[in-house]
A and B are shown apart, each in its own frame.
Chain A
Amino acid sequence: MSNKMIKNKKAQVSQTINWVVATIVIIVIIVITLLLANGDWYNQETKLNDKQKDFIASKSLVNFLSDDVNILIIKNTTETGDYSLFDEKLKPILEELSYNSDGIWVCDVTINDGFFAEHFLNPFGATGKNENYILNIVFYNLEKKIKLQFENQEILQ
């Protein structure tokens, strides 16, 4: 009888030690989480997560392409292969946009669904001529995951 009681007590002591350790672990976890929640390690500024979040840059690009003169410059550039006017007109805009927002704005010009050129800091790599132009201008900002696509058929046909 006495042996059985001693065995029971040993079991109870080991269970108690388990729970004491478990309690300490629980309290430590809660304290660490409380400290993390109370800290300023995370950014409290809100940001719009949709793709149109940089609507000011988008507006500037729409305004740029709503000017027929700018479209004609892009068209002439693709026809002649002379990018001086294009550089003069478009490059400062991309630079200004990149300066004003996060990430770098890049412009791709596509003709007849084929990849034609990429432009920002690098000069155009190819030139082409086609009677039936469909000028497809895509502005994108990889960092912000924004892609703005514009298509112009009327002026170029």
Chain B
Amino acid sequence: MNKKAEKYLSMYWFAILVIVAVGISLIVLIFYGKPLDVRKTESDILINKITDCISNQSILRDDITNDNFLDKCHLIIDDDYYIKINSLGISAGNLNLNEYCMQQKSKISCVSKKVYLQDNGKNIWLEISIAINKADKNE
């Protein structure tokens, strides 16, 4: 091969190298650059923690009220959260999120789970609902 051809070929190789490197970098950036939605997992963990707080060895505590719920459970929540325990009349956080949960195609993560507990000798299913906004961080 003559020298002129070698020169063109080395430029060509360099161009291919750049295309492949840029392509792979873009693919990795796009794939891993997207936010991961951990709100459902976060809700599950929150429900678990709340269950531990409002019950003592499977028996529902009677000293938890709507007023002292956050303090007793050592929870600090902001406007991105809404917690509701139906049968105990406990609710905390941003009430508007509960309304958004009713809407279809809402960007808010709404999780509602039932936990089996005992209350005064009776077996009850306690429904705990969690709504987490953080929509702007998960788009």
State the A residues within 8 Å of B (CB). 12, 19, 23, 26-27, 30, 33-34, 37-38, 44-48, 55-56, 59-64, 66-67, 93, 96, 100
Contact = CB atoms under 8 A, between A and B. Distances in A.
A63 B16 contact: no
B5 to A, nearest CB: 6
Contact of B115 (A26, A27, A38, A63): A63
Contacts of B23: 30, 33-34
27 contacts: A23-B19, A30-B23, A30-B24, A30-B27, A34-B23, A37-B30, A37-B31, A38-B30, A45-B36, A45-B40, A45-B41, A46-B37, A46-B38, A48-B41, A55-B44, A55-B48, A56-B44, A56-B48, A59-B48, A60-B115, A60-B116, A61-B116, A64-B123, A67-B118, A67-B123, A96-B114, A100-B113
B79 to A, nearest CB: 23
Interface string B26-59: 1100110011111011001001100100010110
B14 interface: no
B101 interface: no
A25 B48 CA distance: 52
A33 B36 CA distance: 20
Given A46-B37, A48-B41, A66-B58, A93 B12 contact: no
B16 A26 contact: yes
B37 A30 contact: no
Contacts of B57: 66
B20 interface: yes
A153 B80 CA distance: 47
B27 A33 contact: yes
A59 B31 contact: no
Contacts of A55: 44, 48
Contacts of A67: 58, 118, 123
B51 A56 contact: yes
Contacts of B24: 30
Contacts of A96: 114, 116, 125
Contact of B116 (A12, A33, A44, A64): A64
Contacts of A63: 55, 58, 115-118
Given A55-B44, A66-B57, A100-B113, A44 B35 contact: yes
Nearest to B28: A37
Contact of B20 (A30, A37, A45): A30
A75 B1 CA distance: 89
Q: Which 3 interchain pairs have the tightest Cβ spacing?
A: A30-B23, A60-B116, A63-B58
Nearest to B1: A12
Given A63-B118, A66-B58, 5 more contacts: A45-B36, A55-B44, A56-B115, A59-B116, A93-B116
